[in-house]
Chain A
């Protein structure tokens, strides 16, 4: 049972990671730096609970705010350039963050052991859940509370004026600018929101895994982050969830018999998906067809 709970936690955390890329992709921008914001959230929240012995909830929110702050800072120079240059800039940012934590050593004695990030050896003993006697069920519920909150917030935003503005920027920047929308403000806001969501995901990851090191936050993780909304399509937040369940649940776990070779399947899957359906596997049209086939409303179509 604990295996399936662990998988459920992983799916929840990766959904947050995917949604952080989803927000920015609504504005038509692709960021390969989400692993960097995820890492900032993971290390910040871990340092807060381990070194400063802060409770999990404030630590998690602080991690998210710090990640959002860095997203905001990176957003300005990075969004002056757009499209492919933004991709390069965000890859560089993600690698910079990874190298920063690769070099970070902050060891503090706690009782008879020394805790804290230990550069190449990683950051061990992020044991808040264990120390406070949380059961796997409670941890899973805690993770999914945040997943549901974020999904609900994004779902609601999509139905408000803010969602319309984001999508308008993604569809046609020139037209949107000409009706008086401040493009930079919209993009930096989306970037900041994405950083916040990735920060929550990272903070949850650090505490469920109890151990993080710089090798967790590579370009591969950033690629996973953007491939969820790309495969799931941008028509709704549920597409991202479906894609995470498909990749992490079916592909990664279901192909366990292939051993390490299954990572190759991930590469092939992206190539095939981009050739067959460049706008995403569950794009607006597929969603319509599914909706009609099931004959239900917009919410239920994710179950199809």
Chain B
């Protein structure tokens, strides 16, 4: 094979791996978008809660030696619970039109959760279990890691599951009603606070899956990734268009693929700078994101 072809294979392989990872960003972006869609508010705690859930799963792995699928399940449930707690402490009792107060409260909760994680783990990275990490699929010159394929499958299934809940159940109908017109939804007998709380728990479940999948794809769980994951989740939801779920999926894949492309060409230290620049490119040329509508912007 010529040098050019070898390099081409290497680049496409890197970007392809990035797309696998991008599905995790998509999940985090969907979580931000779900809550933004429901309340027109940003929940800054979201990625921290996702990782905290993964830590609870990890505790089950360390202390009772739970198998990997149970660890993933516990992570999701714990993150869902944390999501509910965040709703009660940071959103439930703050005036509905005071967006910045809720935002600040959730930033406070972000550092609260982060500090607890840092203190209980001494801030050092811990090994996280993975499934099928000894399997490798070969397709011509390309290879696919088994654990990444599993991550991809789980992420796709949970996205489909979420879409099913949102569009095929009464609960999803209530959630969408509240997000479109909360006053009208209330007049129809929908309990807005209860629906919002369920949205937070639902988003939390999704976050717990994303958190444990990120950890198992990387192999370690570290408190150092809280802020970068928060920033990337925010970028994904803004690029996709705040409040748009298809947008978050597309933007998650875009960011994941480009990130690995930047990694290949510019190295690990500069990678994140270009992802951040991408956000500014969108803010200047397309502030509504890929799929967003201009009304949702404020």
A218 within 8 A of B: yes
**B280 & A92 in contact (Cβ 8 Å cutoff):** yes
B105 within 8 A of A: yes
Beyond A91-B231, A92-B279, whether A274 also contacts B105 by CB under 8 A is yes
**A219 & B90 in contact (Cβ 8 Å cutoff):** no
**In the assembled complex, which residues on chain A have CB atoms less than 8 Å from the CB atom of B277?**
96
A39 within 8 A of B: no
**B94 & A274 in contact (Cβ 8 Å cutoff):** yes
Q: B64-108: which have CB < 8 Å to A?
A: 89-90, 93-95, 98-105, 107-108
**B101 & A261 in contact (Cβ 8 Å cutoff):** no
**A219 & B235 in contact (Cβ 8 Å cutoff):** no
Q: Mark B44-71, 1 if CB is under 8 A from A, else 0.
A: 0000000000000000000000000000
Complex alpha-carbon distance, A278 and B109, angstroms: 15
**A220 & B111 in contact (Cβ 8 Å cutoff):** yes
Q: How large is the interface on A (under 10, 10 to 19, 20 to 34, 35 or more residues)?
A: 35 or more
**In the assembled complex, which residues on chain A have CB atoms less than 8 Å from the CB atom of B276?**
92-93, 95-96, 99
**B238 & A88 in contact (Cβ 8 Å cutoff):** yes
**A92 & B235 in contact (Cβ 8 Å cutoff):** yes
Beyond A223-B107, A267-B109, A274-B105, whether A260 also contacts B94 by CB under 8 A is no
Complex alpha-carbon distance, A226 and B111, angstroms: 14
**B235 & A275 in contact (Cβ 8 Å cutoff):** no
Complex alpha-carbon distance, A278 and B36, angstroms: 20
Complex alpha-carbon distance, A261 and B120, angstroms: 11
**B98 & A278 in contact (Cβ 8 Å cutoff):** yes
The A interface, classified by DSSP as helix, strand, loop or mixed, is helix
24 contacts between A and B (CB under 8 A): A30-B104, A77-B284, A78-B283, A83-B100, A84-B36, A84-B41, A89-B280, A92-B234, A92-B235, A92-B279, A95-B228, A220-B111, A263-B115, A264-B112, A264-B119, A267-B110, A270-B105, A270-B111, A271-B108, A271-B109, A274-B102, A278-B95, A278-B101, A279-B101
Other than A85-B287, A99-B272, A267-B115, give 15 A-B pairs with Cβ distance below 8 A: A80-B287, A81-B287, A81-B297, A83-B99, A83-B100, A92-B276, A96-B273, A103-B273, A219-B227, A266-B108, A267-B109, A267-B112, A271-B89, A278-B94, A278-B101
Q: Which residues of A contact B (CB under 8 A)?
A: 30, 32, 77-78, 80-85, 87-89, 91-93, 95-96, 99-100, 102-103, 119, 218-220, 223, 226-227, 230, 260-261, 263-264, 266-271, 274-275, 278-279
